[in-house]
């Protein structure tokens, strides 16, 4: 009977182990290991998706919803950052660039909310189309004649998030 005790402890230990985390990790892995566009690396994918704790318990559809939510949060967080970077300048060109960038960010947020709703209703093609439209933000916010590395880094992060959302939508759509 004494030799069965370690086996019994092992069985009890296994019964408390969250097996579901194995399936979840494979869903995040499935998404990040299947990035096809070449615009995002696996590391980028993990850094985007893993920012949301829901990703650890999400199926593929849930990861698509999460990627849309992250895109919304990232676009929303750009607004105060854009204001901060241009606030100190009295240059009319900087203020014009600020307004253009802020307008792009403000306009894209409701569209991204629509993409999230499209994903919830499993209309991944519509969501993908909206994510592609979201690239107006980098086009309106990058000013190649000026040197704003901190702002560029934030816009680049938004671009990465949108690419991940596109890739996830494509993967879930099949």
157-167 pLDDT, tens digit per residue, is: 999 999 999 99
- Rounded to the nearest integer, the mean pLDDT of the chain is 82
Q: What is the mean pLDDT of residues 123-136?
A: 93
Q: In angstroms, how far is the first alpha carbon of the chain from the final one?
A: 53
Q: What is the mean pLDDT of residues 68-76?
A: 96
Report pLDDT for 3.
58
Query: Alpha-carbon distance 73 to 86, whole Å?
Result: 21
pLDDT at 81 over 70: yes
Query: Alpha-carbon distance 82 to 144, whole Å?
Result: 16
Q: What is the mean pLDDT of residues 142-152?
A: 66
Report pLDDT for 12.
44
Taking residue 12's Cβ as centre, other Cβ atoms within 10 Å add up to: 9
Report pLDDT for 124.
93
Query: Alpha-carbon distance 174 to 172, whole Å?
Result: 5
pLDDT band at 7 (very low <50, low <70, confident <90, very high): very low
Stretch among 12-26, 50-64, 84-98 having the lowest mean pLDDT: 12-26
CA 108 to each of CA 75, 113, 170: distance values in angstroms, whole numbers, following the listed order:
8, 9, 20
Report pLDDT for 38.
79
Domain extent listing, the chain: 4-173
The domain over range 4-173 is classified in CATH as 2.60.40.60: no
pLDDT > 90 in the chain, percent: 45
Contacts of 24 (CB under 8 A, 6+ apart): 55, 56, 57, 58
């Amino acid at each position: 009977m004494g030799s069965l005790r370690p086996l019994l402890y092992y069985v009890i230990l296994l019964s408390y182990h969250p097996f579901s985390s194995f399936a979840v990790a494979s869903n995040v892995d499935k998404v990040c290991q299947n990035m096809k566009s070449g615009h995002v690396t696996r590391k980028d994918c993990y850094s985007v998706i893993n920012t949301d704790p829901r990703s650890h318990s999400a199926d593929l559809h849930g990861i698509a919803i999460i990627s849309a939510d992250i895109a919304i949060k990232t676009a929303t967080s750009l607004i105060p950052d854009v204001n901060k970077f241009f606030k100190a300048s009295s240059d009319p060109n900087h203020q014009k660039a600020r307004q253009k960038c802020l307008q792009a960010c403000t306009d894209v947020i409701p569209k991204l909310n629509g993409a999230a709703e499209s994903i919830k209703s499993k209309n991944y093609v519509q969501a993908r189309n909206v994510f592609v439209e979201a690239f107006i933000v980098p086009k309106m916010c990058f000013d190649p004649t000026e040197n704003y590395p901190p702002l560029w880094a934030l816009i680049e992060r938004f671009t990465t998030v949108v690419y991940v959302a596109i890739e996830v939508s494509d993967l879930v759509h099949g």
